[in-house]
A and B are shown apart, each in its own frame.
Chain A
Amino acid sequence: MSQGQVYGGDEVNAIVLDPGSYSTRAGWSAEDCPSITEPSVCCVRGNSKKFGDSEASIVKPDKQIEQIMKDGVVNDFDAASELWMYTLCQASPHRSVEYLMESPLLITEQPWNPLATQKKTLEFGLEHLNVPAIYLAKSPTLSVFSAGRGTGLVVDVGEQVASVTPVLDGVCLRKPARKSRRAGKFLSEKVLELLKQKNIDVHATFEVSQKKPYSSLNGDAPGFVLRDVECTDSYRQYHRLKVVENFKETMVQVGEPNDTKRMFELPDGNQIELGAERFTLGDALFDSDLTTDTNESSKTTESTETKDSTETTETTETTETTESAESTETKESTESTESTELNGWSAKGLGQLIVESLNACDVDVRPNLANNIIITGGTSLVQGFTERVNQTLIKELPMLKIRVFASGNVTERKNSAWIGGSILSSLGTFHQLWVTKQEYEDAGVEQICQKRFR
């Protein structure tokens, strides 16, 4: 270390908990990735609630799988606190609670986390878990820290929410922040819709006992045998969505549409080959209004027509399907504009969201923010995503120098908030910010939340 610089780290064995809408991560501060990652779901059987990936993959006839998070914040706090307890214990040595009780706890939260949840979270930490100190850190702030900056525009596209939040010197701005539901879950629904239009059933891996490769798009007869398993709908849906996730990773792409075909084999052996439609799926994240939607689909019809001009029967089929896609999309988007504009939920595409957010910021900070655009979240790993964001912004904001930062490391992209928390809680200067039990008791939850975490 050169002279004049002070090593800012001061390791105090804090625990960092990052409850995301898709998975909940926990681990010790100053580490580079969470030691435990569990899905943010609760497996309910009768009165018992169980957690963890392994639990979610065991089939039981009466096992329900419930989502714990909704719109990026806790939906069912009882289940959430149990999940957190479970995850934290998993991260702790010997899975004991005693170790946890000695360490301060840092929990991440979204900027729009309601006051009630914040209060409950403080209660959970300081009373239920009995940690010496607790802190609630905003996810975007932590993402900025994980990118090694203090100021930046965080574009976080996760499972349930796509949010754009400006962060100035570690403080999230509220008024210019934008969020929409066009994120991972939305994309999964789009995929399921597309497969439904093509009369393709998605079977979860556990449902299939025997399979033979076939292609329903080519008109082959299915060659799989289903296992006779009794399970609930929510359980089946959860596992089918897992298949869709794989589908998204392989097939969905964003950018200039081309006809490069890609193949994906469903667990039942059905081999799906798609070309330009892969891009229509990805564009759903960026398209904001009706007109662009219809434009896109008409474009794809054209391309499919030119492509399949020799096979007339095929052509008519595809045009039919895209037409129906159009109609469903228009229906949906009108619905979504009506329902989602409320409560700060935007129905616009991501590109528009970023531009809006930047333009809502003070003109003095705009150049700095545009120069530090940080992309995180699992859904941002869709192929071509970063390039598309970059291109859109350069086109829309020609006067600002756009620089997009997106970690190439998948773990870092998925867990940026946790990593930021790990960095923050291992800094020496941070320790004055912990909310101690004494403060909590003296000032009361209400005051603490208002003064410290709003």
Chain B
Amino acid sequence: MSDTPKQNEGTVDGEASIITELPVLHTAKRLKLEARKLDGMQRELYSLVGDSASPVAITPDSKFKNKASFLQKAANWKLAEFSPKPGLNLHHWVRATLVTENANTDRFSKFNVPVNVPQWDDADYKLFSSEEWSLKETRYLFELASQFDLQWFVIADRYDFENKNRSIEDLKERYYQVSIELIKNQPASLELGLSPSDEQLIQSMKFPKENELKRKQHLKQLLSRTPKEVAEEEALVLEARKLEAMSEKMLADRKDILRLLDSPQAISSKTRVDLNSSAGVGQLLQDLQSEKDKENKEKEKEKKSTSTEPEKAVNFFEGRDENSFVVRLVRNKLTPREIAACGISYGNTKHAGVYLRSTKITPIRQNLLPKVRNVANELGIPLKPVMPTSKICALYDELFQDVNVLLEAKKAQDRLELEIEVLKRAGKTPKTSTEMEVDTANATSESSSTNQVNEESNKEETEIKEENSSSDNQKNNENENENEKEKEAGDDNSAIEV
């Protein structure tokens, strides 16, 4: 706001319409005032220049303070005597008006509040007599306590009674113990029992020495850590945070999955319900029928494709010697030995034309490539066969499919392990039944797949698998446990089991 009027000074008429009402009023006011102030040359100059004045302000703004005006009468001050404590008269300057009102009183005396330390005489000592603390020493402690206003660090620092080694906790314990006894044995409380306020006071005075010592011990340990330990701890905390973040992400992911799973479930449950009615059964029947039809059609198609091919070939090679190699080859009548010797294979008929056999090996998925490469390195084989004979290609295909399964199993295992870890950390946070279901489903599918892998695996792979399977077994156990839990969980689960 402060800027706008200044900018507008020169261009008031031109831009007034653009600017909102308030600043316009403001500037107008200021201009008026300025106009009134101007005199002599400045006014002449202003009348010449008019409203289209230069952007620079004509009246100079002084940066300095105004001259002090001495119109006011100077306040009267007096050197007054006052007495902050008996026997001491000091002088200070006070406003003359105040001197008469409250002479000789010190306005700071109200801050002089001593701490209330209980008083007792030698007869009271029997209430809290102890072998550890003599009458003299107890008296000494109370003197120090009142001298240093219960600043325990200072009291402990100055404490010097017959060279006794008393810790700050010892002193506090004794002091509060004595104080409690004194309150309990007040004449009033002996007659009428403890008043609520006294009881509260006693509660607040109870000094747990052991706890205090333990706390200090812990604090000392905390302060005496080495930088290395601190760094380690920090790293651990960081790790934990990461884990937490991961678990959160995992839970979110799982929720998403559940949401996705929910819709088909809803449908299936719907069909299940519908089975009770005749219409539903009819629907199901229709569905099954259509599916069967589809299958039949596909079969027919396959039959057609296989039957047409040789016919064409026969047409192509008509008139040739039935026993010639080429004809026998095309007619697929070579002996297995011949096939093996020539390395002939009958490729997928879908692909027309000539192609490199090696290109027909199932390609490795891009995201699995590094892992698969690792496995291949471990096995000591290249990713693409050097000599892509049909046999080798087939084996390659098989191997890499196995590897794929293995990797997926591993991934699933890792994820499950993480979940178990997270759940363990979370402790007794209750799981929803649906979550449990997913867990078990994952576990079963995964374990079965790994078993498959185990059966199919090569010798080189067995080592890895063994590790895997052992951890799998563990996991299965855990999953079983979880299943048990789930059963305990109750009604919802029964629905899932159905």
Binding site for B on A (CB under 8 A): 8, 10-13, 102, 104, 132-133, 168-169, 171, 173-176, 361-367, 397-400, 428-429, 431-432, 434, 436-439, 451, 454
Contact = CB atoms under 8 A, between A and B. Distances in A.
B73 interface: no
A428 B216 contact: no
B147 A451 contact: yes
Minimum-distance CB pairs A-B, first 6? A438-B87, A431-B84, A428-B108, A12-B90, A436-B88, A398-B227
Contacts of A102: 91
Contacts of A428: 106-108
A365 to B, nearest CB: 6
B147 A104 contact: no
Interface in B208-231: 216, 219-220, 222-227, 230
Given A366-B223, A429-B108, A434 B88 contact: yes
A436 B87 contact: yes
B85 interface: yes
B459 interface: no
A431 to B, nearest CB: 4
Given A428-B106, A436-B85, A399 B225 contact: yes
Contacts of A397: 223
Interface string B87-105: 1111111000000000000
Contacts of B168: 362
B82 to A, nearest CB: 9
Contacts of B107: 428
Contact of A398 (B90, B112, B147, B226): B226
Contact of A431 (B85, B147, B151, B222): B85
B396 interface: no
A366 B216 CA distance: 12
B90 A431 contact: yes
B220 A363 contact: yes
Interface of B: 84-93, 106-109, 111-112, 147-148, 151, 153-154, 156-158, 168, 216, 219-220, 222-227, 230
A431 B223 contact: no
A400 B230 CA distance: 12
Given A169-B151, A429-B112, 14 more contacts: A10-B92, A11-B93, A13-B91, A169-B154, A171-B154, A173-B153, A175-B157, A362-B153, A362-B216, A364-B219, A399-B230, A432-B85, A434-B90, A439-B87
B154 A168 contact: yes
A133 B236 CA distance: 62
Contact of B88 (A132, A173, A366): A132
Nearest to B168: A362
A364 B156 CA distance: 13
16 contacts: A12-B92, A132-B88, A169-B154, A171-B154, A173-B153, A173-B157, A363-B223, A364-B153, A397-B223, A428-B108, A431-B108, A432-B108, A434-B84, A434-B90, A436-B85, A436-B87
Interface centre among A176, A364, A439, A454 (most CB of B within 10 A): A364
Contacts of B108: 8, 10, 428-429, 431-432
A363 B216 contact: yes
B106 A431 contact: yes
B85 A434 contact: yes
A104 B112 contact: no
B84 A398 contact: no
Contacts of B219: 363-364
Contacts of A367: 223
B112 A432 contact: yes
A12 B154 CA distance: 30
A399 B109 CA distance: 43
A34 B84 CA distance: 26
A10 B94 CA distance: 10
A257 B147 CA distance: 50
Contacts of A454: 158
Nearest to B220: A363
B148 to A, nearest CB: 7
Contacts of B226: 398
A440 to B, nearest CB: 10
A336 B62 CA distance: 67
Contacts of B153: 168, 173, 361-362, 364-365
Nearest to A133: B88
Contacts of B225: 398-399
Main SS class of interface, B: mixed
A110 to B, nearest CB: 16
A250 B88 CA distance: 49
A5 to B, nearest CB: 13
A278 to B, nearest CB: 31
Contacts of A13: 91-92
A437 B88 CA distance: 8
A362 to B, nearest CB: 6
Contacts of A132: 88-90
Contacts of A176: 157
A366 B219 CA distance: 10
B477 to A, nearest CB: 43
A439 B230 CA distance: 56
Interface centre among B106, B108, B111, B168 (most CB of A within 10 A): B108
A85 to B, nearest CB: 22
Nearest to B88: A436
A169 B151 CA distance: 9
A361 B152 CA distance: 12
Nearest to A367: B223
Contacts of A168: 151, 153-154
Interface centre among B92, B106, B158, B222 (most CB of A within 10 A): B92
Given A102-B91, A363-B220, A432 B84 contact: yes
B350 to A, nearest CB: 71
A11 B223 contact: no
Contacts of A451: 147
Interface centre among B112, B151, B154, B157 (most CB of A within 10 A): B157
A401 to B, nearest CB: 11
B91 A174 contact: no
Contacts of A171: 148, 151, 154
Nearest to B108: A428
Contacts of A437: 87
Contacts of A364: 153, 216, 219
B320 to A, nearest CB: 93
A314 B87 CA distance: 74
A438 B83 CA distance: 13
A2 to B, nearest CB: 18
Given A171-B151, A429-B112, A432-B84, A399 B223 contact: yes
Nearest to B147: A451
A409 B121 CA distance: 54
A309 B111 CA distance: 71
A346 to B, nearest CB: 18
Contact of A12 (B91, B109, B147, B156): B91
A432 B147 contact: no
A397 B90 CA distance: 48
Contacts of A365: 153
Contact of B222 (A175, A361, A399, A438): A399
Contacts of B148: 171
A434 B84 CA distance: 9
Contacts of B151: 168-169, 171
A432 B223 contact: no
Contacts of A12: 90-92
A263 to B, nearest CB: 41
A127 B90 CA distance: 18
B91 to A, nearest CB: 6
A55 B116 CA distance: 55
B154 A173 contact: yes
B467 to A, nearest CB: 41
Contacts of B220: 363
Nearest to A439: B87
A436 to B, nearest CB: 4
B113 to A, nearest CB: 11
B191 to A, nearest CB: 38
